[in-house]
Chain A
Amino acid sequence: MRSMIWFLLVSSFILHPSSVVRADGGTLRLSRRQGGYWITIFTAPMPLRAGPVDVSVLVQDGQTREPLPQAQVTVRMTQPGQQALACPATTEAATNKLLRAAPFELPAPGRWELEVQVEGVHGSAVMGCQLEAAHALPRWMQIWPWIGWPALVVALFSVHQVLARRRPLVSPVINRAERLRVK
């Protein structure tokens, strides 16, 4: 049984789908010069859905294209009939510290207006685009790797048993241990 525990632990470490997570800004939505800045907007996940979304912004100097770490960025998302959402985009929320990330909880699917406001050495600049958010996935689909990975372990175990089919029905080691416990 201890071997089973080890097997499960190792399997979960190796096979867990989030073992390697890409930590970029996601899908590139818009990248252009606006005022004195070059602003690039990314969104994640792909495709965009109602629920938790992440908007990442890269702010660069419009001329030199050097990143501007001092710029203040605010992201707004609006949809008719919904309360406007606003959130400052920060490097703390981003994995890639060149970017600024703003996490949102999109309450509904449909078309959303995304607006990014930048305040910095070149003054203020506003840039926006439209996003189409699909319906949120059912909860079980959002966490399907957590539900599904045991199937992979069962499959691996089945392969293991097929490969090891020449073993005696009950391991002699287990038999011996069992006999000793009974004595």
Chain B
Amino acid sequence: MNSTFDAFLRSWPSAPWVLLGLLLAAAVYLRGWLRLHARDPRRWPASKLVTFLLGLAALFVALASPLEPFAALLLQVHMAQHLLLMMVAPPLLWLGAPLFPLLRGLPGPIRTVWVAPLFRSSVLRRCFRTVAHPAPAWLLFTATTWFWHLPPIYDLALGFDGWHVLQHGCFLGAALAFWYPVIRPFPSRPQWSPWLLVPYLILADVQNTILSAVFTFSDRPLYSYYADRPQLGSLSPLEDQAAAGVLMWVPGSIAFLVPLFWIGIQLLYGERSHRKPHSAIPCPPHFDGRISLPVFSEQPDVLRLPLVGRLLRWRFARLAFQLPLTVIAMLMIYDGLRGPQVSPMNLAGVLPWIHWRGFLILSLLALGNVFCLACPFLVPRTLARRWLPQGRSWPRWLRSKWLAVLLLAGFVWAYEALSLWDSPWWTAWIALGYFVAVFVIDGFFRGAAFCKYLCPIGQFNFVQSLMSPLEVAVRDPRICTACRTKDCIRGRDGVPGCELNLFPPRKASNMDCTFCLDCIHACPHDNLGIQTKAPGRELWHDSLRSGIGRFSKRPDLAALIVVLVFGAFTNAAGMVAPVGEWQHELASLLHLGSPALVTSAFYGVGLVVLPTLLVGTAAVLSRWLGQSVESARGLATRFAYALVPIGFGMWLAHYSFHLLGSFESAIPAVQRFAGDLGLATVGDPEWRCACSRPIGDWLTHLEMLALDLGLLFSLYAGYQIARRESEQIAHALKGFAPWALLIVLLFAAGVWIVLQPMQMRGTF
């Protein structure tokens, strides 16, 4: 095989985003086509699916095949790439009549909330009608083709990636506009005579022929970029240019003449007159975005999954999850107290601060509050219930999150000020203290008082699980309305009801839900499931929630959220090099022997002073600008929920960084521990795995993505809250502005933190 051709076949560029975008489009189309085909197979034959997929394949070949790298060396390859973008992909895509399949393939909410308003927009409809008319479409196509083939413009596109992307985008857009009147995909109803297509295609071919001739017969290379490229084999730049011209001329003309011939036959022999007129064809209902949203849609339910569902419905499922984690926790405590007091060598220095935190936040992102489901600290509670009276109810004056806020802030402070992460001994004692606290508190008080009012980890999980995709929810509310026993909250046959007093039909969020599954096991109607939900949607809904009340009436919850959000940034900032250096400089300036006092002051500012100042200012400004009748305190309480996503983004970025950057650090610690216990089979510790590795760009990109999505979710949540707080859009926007500024400030702080060198944990 020719070495150039062999190299060509192996030159596949890495274009994951192109591939993912095309696969996404294919999946949406396929989903919609399957539904339409089931309803009307004659109108939606398999040929439509095939042509649409071929159109996507043509785009893939043009943008993500060896054509792409070789287009930089050979003009003829670049021309082939452009032909695919302009002559092949667009007509194939239109032949698939993509409008209805793509709309039907989209999820209901995106169709109704995002797409439908655009279809109702008179501006967009007018624009589309204008562009889809043959005259503007022809002009756009011709102007685009000629403009981008002007030598200075073409050289510019070849020299800079951004311009090259724009060139491809223009070619594809203009070609889609050009081929639309030719194909007239369903449900297009042109108002102009089809005879117009004859000069339309002939003139397009004429301009294509002229441009091709310029390429083919030019006596010098038109583009300096290709003139400077090394000659491949015996092919000179001028010959390459002529070949590109022929490619444009012959296949290009065929692309125009074949449809011209086909349309001519139809017009001359009146093929269309035998068809029913458009108006007589039964059309799908006019798309107004309000179709097919059932009152009680059956959400995907984890409990319906074959194996997992059965396991979760098993009465001892929770214990089965808890026991392995309890064993790991015990081993960690043992090693923390008895093992070497060097973090990377000790299970207590590695597992909780690198792996557990990372998996915790990732599980909250991908699933839900599964850590509380498998919480090892609750195993002693089962024993406490047998041995201790458990007769008291939690004091009424402590039934809020204020105590948890203090504990959480204290924990975040102690983590850095006392270097908990660097002390296996302290880590072990904290875990041990957790076991004791649960045993004592839940041994004397009814319900899950520790989980609901005290546990800092639980509060973290409750708040972050507002962004999770799963929740324990009622399948059919009508069954709950008819239910008289309410076993889900009272308990049945030895299975307790919800100890956190969350009545499932009125739960409406993950807040305070430990995923204990008690309500699921207790329900006699099998009417509870672990269903998918739109992450974060409850942030702006202020409905009355069982066991919680309204979010807007819970300043303690809002305070918890604010501490968690600012805690995310303060905690991460405390580990970056510039902040550490600044703390040391300040400590030496103040002649302090240890920077602990400065660190404490830093956390005081980060967790108390700054949040109070920023949230308070935003609330006052929001009230003034939005002319709200609500108090500034009330507005701060309401809008605090909008900060949850940006805080979640920062926690995710931070913990993922440690997990993905030092994942292997568990290996030598486990090997060392096993060796100490006399289990030599695991081998000698691989200490090189405990060393910090250089952080790749991919990890920074991942962190940025977490912050980006957090920013957008927060802005959207704040906007939705503002829309609900004010009748008038102008007032809503003004009231939202200070919160948007605060969210952007937090994002900027997060970007700064991510771009700084960060201390690793549990590594050498």
> Which A positions have Cβ atoms within 8 angstroms of B?
1-10, 12-14, 16-25, 28, 31, 38, 40, 46, 58, 60, 64-69, 91, 95-98, 139-140, 143, 146-147, 149-150, 153-154, 157, 160, 163-167, 169-171, 173, 176, 178, 180-183
Contact = CB atoms under 8 A, between A and B. Distances in A.
A173 B15 CA distance: 39
B2 to A, nearest CB: 9
Given A98-B4, A167-B117, A20 B165 contact: yes
Given A24-B72, A146-B701, A160-B118, 14 more contacts: A1-B534, A4-B713, A5-B534, A7-B110, A20-B15, A20-B68, A64-B233, A65-B232, A97-B6, A97-B8, A143-B701, A150-B711, A150-B712, A182-B508
B386 interface: no
Contact of B73 (A1, A13, A98): A98
Contacts of B747: 150
A1 B467 CA distance: 10
Interface string B739-756: 000000001000100010
Contacts of A139: 755
B124 interface: yes
B704 A146 contact: yes
A100 to B, nearest CB: 11
A139 B20 CA distance: 27
B279 interface: no
B541 interface: yes
5 contacts: A20-B15, A65-B233, A169-B729, A173-B113, A181-B543
Assign chain B's interface to a size class: 35 or more
B91 to A, nearest CB: 21
B293 A181 contact: no
Contacts of A146: 700-701, 704-705, 708
Contacts of A6: 106-107, 109-110, 114
Interface in B721-761: 723-724, 727, 729, 747, 751, 755
B191 interface: no
Given A20-B164, A58-B230, A65-B231, A98 B110 contact: no
Interface in B667-724: 697, 700-701, 704-705, 708-709, 711-713, 715-716, 723-724
Dominant SS among interface residues on chain B: helix
A68 B109 CA distance: 57
A140 B165 CA distance: 22
A85 B380 CA distance: 61
A119 B121 CA distance: 66
Of the listed residues A21, A153, A163, A180, the one surrounded by the most CB atoms of chain B closer than 10 A to its CB is: A21
Contacts of B724: 170
Interface in B477-495: 477, 481
B187 interface: no
B10 interface: yes
Contacts of B755: 139-140, 143
A3 B11 contact: no
A147 B704 contact: yes
B73 A19 contact: no
A1 B536 contact: yes
B18 A20 contact: yes
B107 A3 contact: yes
A13 B20 contact: yes
Given A38-B230, A169-B723, A97 B7 contact: yes
A130 B711 CA distance: 45
Nearest to B717: A1
B295 interface: yes
B69 interface: yes
A118 to B, nearest CB: 14
Contacts of A64: 233-234
B24 interface: yes
Contacts of B536: 1, 4
Contacts of A3: 107, 109-110, 112-114, 534
A171 B4 contact: no
Contacts of B63: 20
A178 B8 CA distance: 57
Contacts of A167: 117
A31 B537 CA distance: 59
Nearest to B169: A20
Nearest to A164: B117
A183 B10 CA distance: 61
Contacts of B268: none
Given A1-B536, A2-B107, A169-B723, A96 B11 contact: yes
Nearest to A11: B712
A22 B637 CA distance: 49
A70 B16 CA distance: 30
A182 B543 contact: yes
Contacts of B15: 19-21
Nearest to B541: A178
B73 A96 contact: yes
Of the listed residues A5, A166, A167, the one surrounded by the most CB atoms of chain B closer than 10 A to its CB is: A5
Of the listed residues A20, A69, A176, the one surrounded by the most CB atoms of chain B closer than 10 A to its CB is: A20
Given A21-B161, A23-B69, A160 B295 contact: no
Contacts of B109: 1-3, 6
A167 B110 CA distance: 15
B630 interface: no
A31 B228 contact: yes
B578 interface: no
Contacts of A164: 117-118, 120-121
Nearest to B708: A150
A128 B751 CA distance: 40
Nearest to B109: A3
B106 A154 contact: no
A173 B505 CA distance: 19
Given A19-B165, A31-B228, A154 B700 contact: no
B433 interface: no
A73 B540 CA distance: 61
Interface string B329-367: 000000000000000000000000000000000000000
B17 interface: yes
B3 interface: yes
Given A1-B535, A14-B21, A147 B712 contact: no
Given A13-B17, A67-B3, A173-B293, A97 B106 contact: no
Contacts of B228: 28, 31
B7 A98 contact: yes
B123 interface: yes
B385 interface: no
Nearest 4 CB-CB pairings of A with B: A164-B117, A24-B72, A1-B534, A1-B537
B14 interface: yes
A6 B14 CA distance: 24
Nearest to B28: A10
Nearest to A66: B233
Nearest to A60: B230
B159 interface: yes
Contacts of A5: 534-535
B537 A154 contact: no
A167 B229 CA distance: 56
Given A1-B535, A38-B230, A67-B3, A8 B72 contact: no
A97 B11 contact: yes
Contacts of A67: 3-4, 7, 232
B10 A8 contact: no
A4 B716 contact: yes
A173 B112 contact: yes
A129 to B, nearest CB: 15
B148 interface: no
Contacts of A95: 11-14, 69
Given A40-B230, A150-B708, A18 B17 contact: yes
Nearest to A14: B21
A17 B713 CA distance: 21
Contacts of A171: 112-113
A23 B7 contact: no
B70 interface: yes
Contacts of A40: 230
